[in-house]
A = this chain, B = another copy of it.
Amino acid sequence: MLYETKDIQNLDRISRLKLINSICGIRGVHLIGTISPNKICNLAIFSSVVHIGSNPPLLGFVTRPNSEVKRDTYNNILETSYYTINSIEKNMVDRAHQTSGKYDSIISEFDACNIDSNFLNDFPAPFVTESKIKLGLKFVEKLDIKKNNTRLILGKIQLIEIPYSFDKLSNDDFIGVLGLNTYYEAKKIKDLEYVRIHPKI
């Protein structure tokens, strides 16, 4: 099927949402933990974490427009400068997905969704206890995407807790999402070698 600009525009809102969220493929999915200045912990699910660079170690994620959703994650990061990115384990999928509901700012999604929090190594934002991969980040910069009132939030990784050395990380440690609501585990196809400069053709 071929969709041109006018066909995409003419779709109803939900169909367009499903189309555009599906055609970009499998995305990693994470829980982002923050704490407000008055010490209410917040947790929200995101499927837009993107690798920006290794040195310095930078990750980004995209916030939705403030007009559409509550701003707890965004506000807390701007006010406190710290946040955590936590992996979602297979047995947490339902509870992690529940964090996408719109809870009042005075309610902690950790409590509302039955997800335990913990603090690590004096890092100022809360981690998800049962996540195998826990990352502590310090806010670096926000880049405004004016075209649709979203923002790329950049953070520097300051703390990593993983259950074993990083070269043991595998598909069993991560899940993904396709579209808005369908969760996947990953099954290895193959390892390939780094491609040499100017490969022989």
Binding site for B on A (CB under 8 A): 1-5, 8, 13, 15-30, 47-60, 62, 65, 85, 87, 90, 93-94, 97-98, 100-104, 112, 120-121, 133, 135, 140-141, 143, 145-148, 150, 152, 154, 156-167, 169-171, 173-176, 178-199, 201
Contacts of A201 in B (CB 8 A): 112
Q: Would you call A55 and B162 a contact (CB within 8 A)?
A: no
Q: Would you call A185 and B189 a contact (CB within 8 A)?
A: yes
Q: Work out how many copies of this chain go into the complex.
A: 2
| Closest B residue to A8 using CB positions | B57
Contacts of A162 in B (CB 8 A): 1, 3, 23
| Closest B residue to A85 using CB positions | B24
A122 and B3 alpha carbons, distance in the complex (Å): 14
The answer to whether residues A160 and B3 also contact, given A27-B28, A192-B97 and a CB cut-off of 8 A, is: yes
Min CB distance, A40 to chain B, in Å? 15
Closest 8 CB pairs of A and B: A25-B28, A25-B174, A184-B186, A53-B148, A20-B54, A101-B195, A3-B160, A101-B199
Contacts of A51 in B (CB 8 A): 20-21, 24, 27, 47-48, 62
Contact check: which of B16, B55, B161, B187 meets A57 at CB < 8 Å? B16
Q: Would you call A195 and B147 a contact (CB within 8 A)?
A: no
Contacts of A169 in B (CB 8 A): 22-23, 178-179
Contact check: which of B4, B52, B120, B140 meets A62 at CB < 8 Å? B52
A134 and B114 alpha carbons, distance in the complex (Å): 41
